[in-house]
Amino acid sequence: MTRTRKLLGLGMAIAPAIALFPVPGVLGQATPSVTPSRPTFEVATIKLADPNAVPKNQALRMSPTRLSIPSMTLYWLIYTAYGDGGYNTSMRVTGGPDWANRTAFAVEGLSSGPVTQQQQRLMLQPLLEERFGLKILHKEETYDVLGLVVDRRDGKLGPKVKKWDGTCPKVMPPLMYPAPRRPFERDGDKIVVGPASATDEPGVTYCPSGFRPGGLILNGATMFTVAEILSLPPGRELLGGVTQDRTGLTDRYTLDLDYLFGAAPSDFAGPSLSGAIRDQWGLRLEKTKGTAKVIVVEHAQLPTDN
């Protein structure tokens, strides 16, 4: 089932690892439509994944010019290729054959020069359309969501929010639902965070971020990511809906939240999650409307051998 195909296009290298967490039934803010001109891999292969490979739903940066996806279904590949680069709580994939959400594939892509993280996802789009005969329909739907807004009229944020200082901690606690982030760069003997770029995407953090024991931490994150992490199951179950960013803030921040996610009510007598967000972050949740991006798979076929 393996086939190697040379694809003509821009010469670029593969961008960093992207962990993707689309949540079934979760809908949020729609992302912009894909531009017609897209980069392509110089060489790429798709084959059935090793049955012993554990699906991690990640695209891995193996080298500056190589992308490796050990085990991912076509649904997850679509989230990767057409998503927002973050948790993808802003989209939903539906339709297609039964195997599209069951059969896992391994993907290898080789490029001839550096790419941004967004370009890396764009490279997957023509590959899926070529190899799977993928045809999709883009739709938008409107739903009730929770808007994340600044609580104070003067715009001041809470005590556990500060502007990101451009550094990442040397030691991070174990994280659940780790957020997609930029790769670290080597500067001599040091590992540093690369400079900000116009190609950086709001769903990608600069430092390790996610749910930690007793709360959550986001570092080098936009409010877009803050809203997305609150839309994941631990937060969504407590808040009762999907959260979208309505703060209007465009900077990157370091936010820490003390909260016992998953604790039984009898074991936790603290404030509600929305109360903790207001007290610690100076942010408020209010009911509003949001637009969701829905991708309908109209046609897909198993990739063929050479």
Q: What digits encode the pLDDT tens for the residues 192-249?
A: 777 777 778 889 899 999 999 999 999 999 999 999 999 999 999 999 999 999 999 9
Q: What is the predicted pLDDT for the residue at 62?
A: 55
- 299 Cβ contact list (under 8 Å, min separation 6): 96, 133, 134, 135
State which of 140, 165, 198 marks the end of a domain.
140
Helix-strand-coil split of the chain, %, nearest 5 = 20, 35, 50
Q: How far is CA 114 from the centre of its chain?
A: 21
State which of 140, 174, 189 marks the end of a domain.
140
Would you place residue 12 in the very low, low, confident or very high pLDDT band (cuts 50, 70, 90)? very low
In a domain, 185, yes or no: yes
Q: What is the predicted pLDDT for the residue at 157?
A: 98
Summarised one tens digit per residue, pLDDT across range 57-82 is 666 655 567 788 889 999 999 999 99
Domain that holds residue 109: 3-140
State which of 81, 112, 140 marks the end of a domain.
140
Residue 271, token pair as written in the block: 């404030």
In a domain, 302, yes or no: no
Could you tell me if 106 and 169 lie in one domain? no
Would you place residue 186 in the very low, low, confident or very high pLDDT band (cuts 50, 70, 90)? low
Could you tell me if 173 and 156 lie in one domain? yes
Total number of domains in the chain:
2
Model confidence, pTM: 0.80
Could you tell me if 61 and 42 lie in one domain? yes
Q: What is the predicted pLDDT for the residue at 35?
A: 44
Summarised one tens digit per residue, pLDDT across range 71-123 is 999 999 999 999 888 899 989 999 999 999 999 999 998 888 877 777 778 89
- Between the alpha carbon of residue 184 and those of residues 17, 58, 167, 243, the distances in Å are 11, 17, 11, 29
In a domain, 306, yes or no: no
In a domain, 85, yes or no: yes
Summarised one tens digit per residue, pLDDT across range 112-164 is 887 777 777 889 999 999 999 999 999 999 999 999 999 999 999 999 999 99
- 188 Cβ contact list (under 8 Å, min separation 6): none
In a domain, 304, yes or no: no
Could you tell me if 71 and 180 lie in one domain? no
Could you tell me if 89 and 107 lie in one domain? yes
Residues 253 and 221 sit within 8 Å (Cβ to Cβ)? yes
Could you tell me if 29 and 75 lie in one domain? yes
